[in-house]
Amino acid sequence: MQKRWVLKPKGDAALANLLAQRGVNSYEEAKKFFRPVLNDLHDPFLMKDMDKAIVRLSEAIRTKERILIFGDYDVDGTTAVALVYSQLQKFTDNIDFYIPDRYKEGYGISKEGIDYAHETGCNIIIALDCGIKSVEKIAYANSLGIDFIICDHHTPGSSLPEAIAVLDPKRNDCKYPYKELSGCGIGFKLLQAYYQSQNISIEELIPSLDLVVVSIASDIVPITGENRVLAYYGLQQLNTYPRPGIKALLDLNRITKELTISDIVFIIGPRINAAGRISSGKEAVELLISENPVDASAQSISINDNNIERRNLDLNITDQALSIIDGDVTLQTKKTTVLFNKDWHKGVIGIVASRLTEKYYRPTVVLTESNGMATGSARSVKNFDLYSAIENCSDLLVQFGGHMYAAGLTLKVENVPAFQQKFEEVVSAMIDEQMLQQEIEIDDEINFNQITPSFYNVLRQFAPFGPGNMMPVFKSENVFDSGYARIVGNNHLKMYVAQEDTPAYSAIAFGHGPQLMNISRRNPFAACYSIEENVFNDKKTLQLNIKDLQLCR
């Protein structure tokens, strides 16, 4: 699929231009951007209901009430549970945690979880990464005398649950300055507030920031504002003193490099997620709270095996889904993809939805059957509000939740054809045609002679990279291969590229193997790329990661 190149507004100098694009326009803003400090975090009591949450939590700890920490089964939920459970354990032994079964209970607050709390004498539940739309479940808990503190970051429904406290910056009546925290990030703010109320330094929470950065990276929230501060310190913690469970996973997979946000997304996140997809999210929490390296090592093997099974299921179902679309001309011409197969594995359909979105670049829903209902995951394209589109189909749904780019939904199996039709109609009416063409945002246009070690060293300080602060992408014209282009791996293009009178740089263009014949004849082309450091035999060199290339006409 042809990609659309979009050059951001150009400034006077490359590095100043990069800062301006990120909203950094003064010395003070630059200082906060390049040197985040924990004092940059907002007062947690600015969040609506935080005062109520801390009063109730403090009372529970003081009177030794039994507390249940409840969380979703994905990375954000399990890291949040591990974070809050392990920190509150310092103040009370009367604490337990619960992760719902993806297949028996589904997403969010479950009746089974509430019943478990009731049976085990828990009369306060802290819900993490879920609960904002669980109006009926919270009412059920209230009838049993169980209080809820909800810590969520998803979009609320028309009414809020009747909980003791509902912590969610996306509440319309919440004036908290930063709206993009992860579920684990909301859990962190609860802990920050409790520590503050007990006159304990926030420094005591630094060792737990490895969990927060794993959630930030894996849940793909913007790495701006508070998330940038938390990710900055979280990466430091992850790269110096990772907790035994994460270290065991890294050791098992022989990962010794300095970790980035991207490494969390592709190495750590999928393995933690695999527990909830294949077995039980409880295994992920047990790994993350483990303090014994021997136990953590054994647990990491089980989690890693789950990931291998997850990957095989994912690839198999993706192949089936691609075959369905490739064999149906009508499906190929739609502005949406909605596929249903009752036998697909519920644990991987979210990943399959992401892969189909990458391939066909349009809003995508993948459904399977679970407990007699069609249930699934949805993924969006840049700038399209998927949650709003699904909300417009709510008359056909039993339940749904999520945010702009990702959502979950459940409906009756017999309503699937009607949903396919209505979702297509709704999206067609809402979406701009340009949104259906994958876009590459280019930060600046430069020449190769500007790429120096000192230029790269400044670029590195823009990290951590992620949504809202992506690794800078540059464009260069009249680039040519110096004669060593070849295909490596799974159809990737390895080259040494140069411009007139510049040194040649090592370059890799993933998935661009078919371009070999075009560029190997020294035909000039334009390239958009990011600049990376490649380490081979302990020698560091700069390498261009080419996102796309276009032959000059």
Q: Outline where 198-224 has alpha helix (H).
A: 209-218
Peptide bond into 222 cis (omega under 30): no
Percent of the chain with pLDDT over 90: 82
Q: Among 442, 325, 431, which residue's Cα sits nearest to residue 382?
A: 431
Query: How sure is the predictor about 291, in pLDDT bands with cuts at 50, 70 and 90?
Result: very high
Q: What is the CATH number of the domain that holds 413?
A: 3.10.310.30
51, part of any domain: yes
Q: pLDDT confidence of 540, banded at 50, 70, 90?
A: confident
Is there a single domain that holds both residue 221 and residue 294?
yes
Distance of CA 426 to the CA centre of its chain: 26
Lowest mean pLDDT among 9-23, 96-110, 198-212, 383-397: 9-23
pLDDT at 342 over 90: yes
Q: Are 384 and 439 in contact (CB under 8 A)?
A: no
Q: What are the two backbone dihedrals, phi and then psi, of residue 338, each rounded to the nearest 5 degrees? A: -130, 110
Lowest mean pLDDT of 278-287, 345-354, 461-470, 530-539, name the range: 530-539
Q: What is the chain's mean pLDDT, rounded?
A: 93
Q: What is the pLDDT of residue 536?
A: 74
**Would the pLDDT of 287 be above 90?**
yes
Task: Indicate whether this model's pTM tops 0.85.
Answer: yes
User: Do the domain assignments include residue 274?
Assistant: yes
Q: Which of 402, 436, 470 is the last residue of a domain?
A: 436
Residue 275 has pLDDT above 80, yes or no: yes
Does one domain contain both 261 and 333? Answer: no
Cα angle 145, 76, 281; round to 5? 75
Structure tokens at 57: 């939590």
Which 3 state secondary structure label does DSSP give 116? helix
Residue 47, helix vs strand vs coil: coil
pLDDT over 90 at 10, yes or no: no
Residue that finishes a domain, picked among 290, 305, 320: 305
Structure tokens at 209: 């920031």
Do 436 and 335 meet the contact criterion of CB atoms below 8 Å apart?
yes
Q: How confident is the model at residue 13 (pLDDT cuts 50, 70, 90)?
A: low
Please check whether residues 334 and 300 belong to one and the same domain.
no
- Total tally of structural domains belonging to the chain: 3
The region, left, alpha or beta by phi > 0 then psi within -120 to 50, assigned to residue 540 is beta
Residue 464 has pLDDT above 90, yes or no: yes
Query: 392: how many CB neighbours lie within 10 A of its CB?
Result: 15
The verdict on residue 402 lying in a domain is yes
Task: Please name every residue paired with 488 in a beta bridge, in sequence order, or none if there are none.
Answer: 492
**What distances in angstroms separate CA 5 from CA 8, 16, 355, 475, 548, one per listed residue?**
10, 21, 22, 9, 9
For residues 429 and 446, membership in a common domain is answered with no
Are both 110 and 198 inside the same structural domain? yes
| Contact indicator for 455, 529 with CB cutoff of 8 Å | no
Q: Which residues lie closer than 8 Å to 450 by C-beta, 6 or more apart?
A: 14
- pLDDT of 1 strictly over 80: no
Assigned token pair, 218:
């894996």
Whether residues 426 and 466 share a domain: the answer is no
Same domain, 116 and 162: yes
pLDDT at 537 (0 to 100): 74
Specify the CATH number for the domain of residue 271. 3.90.1640.30
The answer to whether residue 317 sits within a structural domain is: no
- Gap between the Cα atoms of 511 and 489, Å rounded: 9
Mean pLDDT is lowest, of 303-307, 403-407, 469-473, 534-538, for 534-538
Judgement on whether residues 221 and 291 belong to the same structural domain of the protein: yes
- Of 49-53, 473-477, 532-536, minimum mean pLDDT range: 532-536
Q: How far apart are CA 470 and CA 236, in angstroms?
A: 19
Residue 407 and residue 281 in one domain: no
Q: Is 310 contained in some domain?
A: no
Same domain, 118 and 223: yes
Give, in order, the Cα–Cα distances in Å from 10 to each of 16, 359, 473, 549.
Answer: 10, 31, 13, 21
- Domain final residue pick, 270, 305, 340: 305
DSSP string, 300-337: HHHHHHHHHHHHHHHHHHHHHHHHHHHT-HHHHTSS-E
Residue 313 lies in a domain: no
Whether residue 289 lies inside any domain: the answer is yes
Looking at the chain, the number of H-run helices and the number of E-run strands are 20, 19
Q: What is the pLDDT of residue 12?
A: 60
- Do 60 and 28 fall into the same domain? no
| pLDDT of residue 520 exceeding 80 | no
pLDDT digits (tens, 9 = 90+) for 361-416: 999 999 999 989 999 999 999 999 999 999 999 999 999 988 888 899 999 999 99
Give phi and psi for 208, each to the nearest 5. -90, 0
Radius of gyration of the chain (CA): 24
**What would the pLDDT profile of 159-189 be if each residue is shown by its tens digit?**
999 999 999 999 999 999 999 999 999 999 9
DSSP class of 220 = T
Residues 475 and 521: beta-carbon distance below 8 Å: no
Residue 321: inside a domain, yes or no?
no
Treating both helix axes as pointing N-terminal to C-terminal, what angle do 269-278 and 281-289 enclose, rounded to 10 degrees? 140
127: left (phi > 0), else alpha (psi -120 to 50), else beta? beta
Residue 185 belongs to domain spanning: 39-305
CATH of the domain at 447: 2.40.50.460
> What band does 533 get if pLDDT is binned at 50, 70 and 90?
confident
Whether residue 157 is found in the same domain as residue 222? yes
Quick one: pLDDT band at residue 19, thresholds 50, 70, 90? confident
Indicate whether 285 pLDDT > 70: yes
Does 464 sit behind a cis peptide bond, omega within 30 degrees of 0 on the bond before it? yes
